[in-house]
Each structure stands twice: as C-alpha cells, then as structure tokens.
Amino acid sequence: MYSLGTLVLTSLISLLAGAGLGAFLLYLFRAQVYSRELEQRLHVAENSLKSYQRDVVEHFAQTSQLVNNLTQSYRDVHEHLANSALKLATPAISRQILESANSTLLGNEKSYLDDQPIDPPKDWAPKAPGDKSTLSEDYGLHDDHDDEPVLLHDVHEGFTPEKPNN
C-alpha cells in the first residue's frame, strides 16, 4: 500500500509537528504558571508589609500610652511630695515649694543656655589692631616697587630669583 519511505517521512513530519506544538503549548502554560507564582509571591510580600506596618503602628501606640502613663505617674508623685511637704514643713518653706512647683509646672524655669551669651558666627578672620580687614579691597596688596616680577620659566625647584643689576 504505502511505501516504507512515505511512512517514515510522514512519521518524522508528524513527530516534528507534535514536538513543535508541544513546545508551543508548554511555553503558553509555563508563562501562565509562572505568572500565577509571581502573583502569589506578590500577595505574600504585600501581606508581610501590611503586617509589619500594623506592628509598627501598634508599637508606637503602646509606647505613646506608656509615656502618658509615666507622665501621669510623675505628676502624681510630684503632687504627693508637694502635699506632704506642705503638711510637714513650715509655712515659709511651703511657700517656696509652691513657688518652685508653679514655675516648674508652668515652664518658667530658665535653661542653662539662656544664661550664656551667644555670639553670631564670624564671616571674617580676626585681625590685629591697626591691620587691614580681610574684607578690605586692598587687603594683601603692597606698594613695594622694589619687588620685580618673577617669570614662570625662571621658577624651578631650589631657585630663588635675584634682582637684576641695573
């Protein structure tokens, strides 16, 4: 019926066509699988970030609450000590305690920095009395006519220019 050459040729063409079609389908499905895998990794990363952000918010909220509790406890201890001092101390000392408590609580206390004078920064170099300022237009210029200009080709290591004999 069919010759052996025709059968072999038909089977080789079918094999190549099947391999090509299989490679093409693998490429399509592999891209979809890889895409799904990337989406899953993205969702995991987003969930991890949201969890971290939630933990940070909870941490700062708890820290804020603890600082508020600490501040309130400090006020309670201060009031307790002030009340006890008022009960147990003489009237003159009681007035001093009340005045210092009021100034401390109202923020009238002066800091150490307020007592020291602060000079603005200087944008010039200090000069000796009688010298010209560095901002002066003729600073560093001399009217010496004895100095002769030195040519660049005369300057090399160890050479000091001499004045020409006129």
Percent of the chain with pLDDT over 90: 30
pTM over 0.75: no
Percent of the chain with pLDDT over 70: 63
Three-class secondary structure assignment of the chain:
CCCHHHHHHHHHHHHHHHHHHHHHHHHHHHHHHHHHHHHHHHHHHHHHHHHHHHHHHHHHHHHHHHHHHHHHHHHHHHHHHHHHHHHHCCHHHHHHHHHHHHHHHHCCCCCHHHHCCCCCCCCCCCCCCCCCCCCCCCCCCCCCCCCCCCCHHHCCCCCCCCCCCC
pLDDT tens digits along 24-75: 888 888 877 888 889 999 999 999 999 999 999 999 999 999 999 999 999 9
Residue 72 and residue 137: Cα distance in Å, rounded? 63
For range 97-115, the mean pLDDT: 60
